[in-house]
Structure 1
Amino acid sequence: METEEIQLAPPPRGRRGARTKRVRGIIFLKDVLTLGCTAFGGPQAHLAMMLRLLVDKRRYLTAAELLELTALCQILPGPTSTQTITAIGYRLGGPNLAYLTVLVWMLPAVTMMTLAGLTITYLDKTQVSNLVQYVQPIAVGFVAYSAYKIAEKVIHTKTSVALMVAAAMLAYRFQLPWLLPLLLLAGGAVTTFRYRKMPVLADKQPLQIEWANFVLWLGILIGAALLGSYTRLLPVRLFENFYRNGSLVFGGGQVLAPLLYAEFVEFKNYLSTQEFLSGLGLVQAMPGPNFSFASYIGGLAMRRDGSGIGGQILGAVVAAAGIFMPGTLLIFFLIRFWDQLKQYRVVKASLEGLNAVSAGLVCAATFLLYHPLPDTPANLGLVAATFFLLLWDKVPSYAIVAAGLLAGVLF
């Protein structure tokens, strides 16, 4: 039986309904914390684990709805997996649950990367490489599983197959961050022409756009730049630097890394190349969003301020706030009227193309993430073993990752 066809019954109304909704929100936050502590491997691997826990097990939403939200977030700048899980929280419990969702989701990774920044002098690149050597191919296995499950659930027509293959080939051949949103828009445009096959809604609601979050995003972007230029305080400038990067980067943590290297290592010399590479290796072994790398850089950048450990923690906090806030504000702006947009046949028809291209991007990510790894039988075997263990559906995701980390420590 297809799990995406099963819908949760609406909660009862009145006091009992409010209590049920509150309990459901608490269970959802526990699930978010579980993902925040166990979801390794970046947005594509996060999608696989969300698919497994939030769709197949909990049925908070369908696989098609999860892909739809992911595609929507990929069009926006910012951390895709963070925006996706925030949007799910908004749909389940409104703004309050969404705010708690983003905090619970980012807290484990930000805390661990802050601690890594405080103790980086005791680590070297060799130790980091040894720690993550088995986690990396395991993460590729998660992405391969995600590609398989997504294609199984959303690819139903010849047009979808063609779009998926074309998107995968183009994304693999041209590894450009701005290409991803263009492919998504192009895929949606292709299936838009089928809008006449969609039913006409008799009670279509008028489109109402609330601009508050968009204005807030733009106001903070301009205000932080002016305040940093006027005060010259390092924490303020760090917030502005990361807020600007979070507002302009498409494509997730892999795209963010070279931008941060150019600004904070080559241009501003806040940390050394060795420190940057050590942190980049560590963040690959951390669960949760890769954008938590910003807290590591923010903590090290504050060393020059001479304010000690307290100053480094402040730097990590303002960096994390700066990098995550833009994407959160933008998804809050768009998600409020996204369901109204889907009432229009043109928009609804475009979802087939968006889902197909999303599946193709995940397929491409499988090969792109495997390509930098040494092409050894051990790595290939770990990818295959992870894929089949996930397909078997008997071993928890966190157990697979924990085994990889333990192997890195022992060997």
Structure 2
Amino acid sequence: MPDHPPARPSPAAARDGRALEVLWAFLRLGLTSFGGPVAHLGYFRTEFVERRRWLDDARYADLVALCQFLPGPASSQVGIAIGLGRAGWGGALAAWAGFTLPSAVALVAFAHGLAQWPALAASGAVHGLKVVAVAVVAQAVWSMARALCPDRLRAGIAVAAALLVLAAPTAAGQVGAIVLGGAVGRWALRLAPLSPAPHRDPGIGRRTGALLLALCAALLVALPALATTLSSTLLHAVAVVYRAGALVFGGGHVVLPLLQAGVVPPGWVDNDAFLAGYGAAQAVPGPLFSFAAYLGAVMPAPLGGAWSAAVLLVAIFAPGLLLVAGALPFWEALRRRAGAQRAMGGIHAAVVGVLAAALYDPVWTSAIASRADFGVALAAFGLLVVGRVSPLWVVAAGAAAGAWLHA
């Protein structure tokens, strides 16, 4: 009998196989990627450019530039874009799930521990987590200011944004500072033009991209209106978290003031529990946006628990996914617009000011109550900035120091 050539897998089967490949690759990274978004981008390059060769250095650098330009969790958006290019929409969701779920599950478990043992919330170890949060946010302000405020104009935008947020400590004040920073940057900042990049097919048409961007904007407006119409606490929480995910520029730490202004004043999360969870989030691998799962888990009834954690986790990442997938077909034209570059420079500077205001209130005012607290925070800051010690060990040392001082 004549030999028959082996049957080729169908395109759908090939995509499914690649999606599983993407899931396992990102799950391994989600379990081991400590150190924040900059470290995550280094891990991604090692894994997908050097080791697996799914894309080259030029394509990877272009994706990083796009995700730094957009609001949202930059490292997660780069991962989603890699998964999208490798295995379509299934690959995008697999990349997000693999990289995000380990940290989300760990933070939900921490929230469950606080619920089971209420005395834990007032323990010295949890207070130590709040003190470490001071050092972590201070490190973020320090490094972002050096990178994003290199001249007097942008330093002035950052200072003005901080003063505005301190004078109007609400979500509206934070958004207003970011919008004003973008306006000042658009009309006053001067930047060198970017060189053109070679054209690459993003795998998404411009029509689809435009629909995704329109959906992202529509949800930003519709969710608060729908929550008010239906008087739904869950929808109000989803609207707050979605807005934070859609307006975060400059890294995961910037989500802190946006979320705090949205969930603490209504009484959904106690400020001490908020900062304790934020400190715990530094000790887990993966994206800091997984902190939304913790918030969902600690909220009181009718919210709270695993269901609320899952809903808020999806809500905070949804705008980032829609934005990166929607912007891919338009990226080359967008990145070369001088006005867009100048506006983003002003926005990034304003974000530094917003985060600096959050460093004072609520982070500092809620955690530093004595000279000993300040000493622990200063030591943690030195370990992070000067010693470049892993945040995991700094968080563990801070919790131990808090427990020792409490005892």
TM-score normalised to the size of structure 1? 0.64
Query: Does structure 2 conserve the Cα–Cα contact (< 8 Å) formed by 1:116 and 1:296?
Result: no
**How far apart are the structure 1 equivalents of 2:191 and 2:220?**
43
Shift of 1:202: 7.9
Can you list the C-alpha shifts for 1:14-43, whole angstroms capped at 9, x where unaligned? xxxxxxxx99997776444445xx56xxxx
Check conservation: 1:113, 1:292, Cα contact below 8 A: yes
Q: Who is 1:145 aligned against?
A: 139
| SS of residue in 1 equivalent to 2:366 | coil
Corresponding residue for residue 133 of structure 1? 127
Q: Is 1:174 aligned to residue 136 of structure 2? A: no
Q: 2:155 aligns to what?
A: 161
Tell me, in whole angstroms, the C-alpha distance in 1 between the residues paired with 2:292 and 2:153. 35
What corresponds to 2:241 in structure 1?
A: 246
CA distance in 2, matches of 1:329, 1:200: 25
Q: Does 1:357 align with 2:350?
A: yes
Change in 2 beyond 3 A, CA 1:172/1:297: same
Match of 2:6 in 1: none
C-alpha displacement of 1:93:
4.8
Q: 1:325 corresponds to which letter in structure 2?
A: A
- 1:212 aligns with 211
Residue equivalent to 1:333: 326
Aligned residues of 1:71 and 1:355 also touching (Cα < 8 A) = no
CA distance in 1, matches of 2:197, 2:29: 36
Residues 262/53 of structure 1: CA separation in 2 closer, same or farther (3 Å cut) = closer
**Letter matched to residue 84 of structure 1:** A
Give the Cα separation in 1 of the matches to 2:322 and 2:197: 30
Specify the code of the residue in structure 1 equivalent to 2:278. Answer: Q
RMSD of aligned alpha carbons: 4.9
Match of 1:342 among 324, 335, 354: 335
Q: CA deviation at 1:203?
A: 8.9
1:294 touches 1:316 (CA, 8 Å); kept in 2?
A: yes
Correspondence for 2:75: 85
CA distance in structure 2 between the partners assigned to 1:358 and 1:254 by the alignment: 10
2:395 to 394, 401, 404: 401
TM-superposed CA distance for 1:401, in Å, is: 0.9
Amino acid at match of 1:340: A
Q: CA deviation at 1:166?
A: 1.9
| Aligned-partner residue type, residue 78 of structure 2 | I
- 1:366 pairs with 2:367: no
Name the amino acid aligned to 2:172. Answer: W
Q: How far did 1:99 drift?
A: 2.9
Instruction: Give 1:345 shift.
Output: 1.8
> Quick one: which of 155, 172, 179 aligns to 1:185?
179
Relative to structure 1, is the Cα distance of residues 389 and 351 closer, same or farther in structure 2, using a 3 angstrom cutoff? same
Matched-pair contact (CA < 8 Å) for 2:38–2:75: no
Q: State how far apart, in whole Å, the 1-side matches of 2:377 and 2:345 are.
A: 29
Residue 55 (structure 1) shift? 5.8
Structure 1 residues 174-323: aligned runs within 5 Å: 174-193=168-187, 198-199=192-193, 208=206, 210-214=209-213, 218=218, 240=235, 242-249=237-244, 252=255, 254-256=257-259, 259-260=262-263, 280=274, 282-287=276-281, 288-289=288-289, 290-297=291-298, 301=302, 313-314=306-307, 316-318=309-311, 320-322=313-315
Classify 1:396/1:112 alpha carbon distance in 2 versus 1 (closer, same or farther; 3 Å): closer
**Structure 2 residues without counterparts, runs of 5 or longer:** 1-19, 50-56, 200-204, 249-254, 282-287
Q: What is the CA–CA distance in structure 1 between the aligned matches of 2:349 and 2:316, rounded to whole Å?
A: 29
Q: What is the TM-score when the length of structure 2 is the normalising length?
A: 0.65
5+ long unaligned stretches in structure 1? 1-21, 40-48, 74-79, 231-236, 266-272, 304-311
Aligned residue for 1:3? none
Which residue of the partner structure matches residue 111 of structure 1?
105
* In structure 2, C-alpha distance between the alignment counterparts of 1:197 and 1:259, rounded to whole Å: 34
